[in-house]
Amino acid sequence: GAGVSQSPSNKVTEKGKDVELRCDPISGHTALYWYRQSLGQGLEFLIYFQGNSAPDKSGLPSDRFSAERTGGSVSTLTIQRTQQEDSAVYLCASSLDSYYGYTFGSGTRLTVV
Amino acid sequence: KNQVEQSPQSLIILEGKNCTLQCNYTVSPFSNLRWYKQDTGRGPVSLTIMTFSENTKSNGRYTATLDADTKQSSLHITASQLSDSASYICVVSAVDSSYKLIFGSGTRLLVRP
């Protein structure tokens, strides 16, 4: 597609449930990133995928968070046993490499009640 | 600790007026600085990107400046339009981890008719 697509755009879930967030990057972009934007805060790095290299997971806040990227394209961010502090907008971005302009998706707004 | 701070937090101006947004950073070793515009409910969109050797870059009515010695940047918006109402985010990356963008909290700009 023309841009980075994320789904769902909004997700309300009960505390303790698992959620999956999906990101479909721009075709041909080898780099894919997940960021989290909490209310009133700057975006926080979560994870970075580059081609077939091992991902940099250093930004994941706890072992309840995991992400995978299948076939070098679509990525899924999974949050297990969600907590209220997980409520945020989760943004995905892709780029040709880490220097050039990133293209962000519109994000998934996650609300844990 | 690598940080990016922006001021003011919010700003209201009249349509047609100019404004300047500020960004201070402590990221080291510095790689590049980007300004993004984020409309409500959308992902950030890149306005400018500058490396150490660049001290000014324009994109239409947007002009960014960079002083790498004092670690300061500004974004000047000329002849503001209602569509400029958005959050403007300063983003810095370090040489040793260029894909881990470090985001400021943004300046929320409201342009009134």
Q: CB of A89 within 8 A of CB of A41? A: no
Summarize the confidence of residues B78-102 as an average pLDDT: 92
C-alpha to C-alpha distance for B80 and B76, rounded to whole angstroms: 10
Q: How far apart are CA B49 and CA B64, in angstroms?
A: 9
pLDDT digit string, tens, across residues A32-57: 999 999 887 889 999 999 988 889 99
pLDDT at residue A1 is higher than 60: no
Strand runs (DSSP E) across chain B, as ranges? 4-7, 10-14, 19-25, 30-38, 45-51, 56-59, 62-67, 72-77, 86-94, 97-103, 107-112
- Tell me, yes or no, if B37 comes closer than 8 A to chain A by beta carbon: no
Give B91-112 pLDDT, tens digit per residue: 999 888 778 889 999 999 999 9
Percent of chain B with pLDDT over 90: 81
CA distances from A94 to A41, A43, B2, B97, B99 (A): 21, 15, 23, 16, 11
> How many angstroms away from the CA of A11 is the closest CA of chain B?
14
pLDDT of residue A100: 65
Mutation site, A43, A100, A103, interface B, largest B CB count within 10 A = A43
Read off the DSSP letter of residue A84.
G
Report which residue type is found at B34: R
The CA distance from A71 to A78, in Å, is 17
- When CB atoms are compared, the residue of B49, B100, B104 closest to A45 is B100
What is the model's pLDDT at position A70?
A: 84
Segment B1-20 shows an average pLDDT of 95
pLDDT > 70 in chain B, percent: 100
A98, pLDDT greater than 70: no
Q: Within an 8 Å CB–CB cutoff, is residue B20 touching chain A?
A: no
What is the spatial distance between Cα B33 and Cα A107, in angstroms, rounded to a whole number? 23
Q: Name residue A63's amino acid.
A: D
Tokens linked to A12? 């309300």
State the pLDDT confidence band at B1, using cuts at 50, 70 and 90.
confident
Share of chain A above pLDDT 70, in %: 96
Inspect the interface and report whether the beta carbons of B101 and A101 lie closer than 8 Å.
no
Separation in Å, CA B20 to CA B58, B76, B87: 13, 4, 13
Tens digits of per-residue pLDDT, A12-39? 999 999 999 999 999 989 899 999 998 8
Q: Is B73 on the interface with A (CB under 8 A)?
A: no
Place of tokens 């985010």: B89
Among A7-16, A31-40, B54-63, B76-85, which is the least confidently predicted range?
Answer: A31-40
| Contact status of B105 with chain A (Cβ, < 8 Å) | yes
The confidence score (pLDDT) of residue A45 equals: 92
Which of A67-71, B8-12, B70-74 has the weakest average pLDDT? A67-71
Q: What is the pLDDT of residue A39?
A: 83
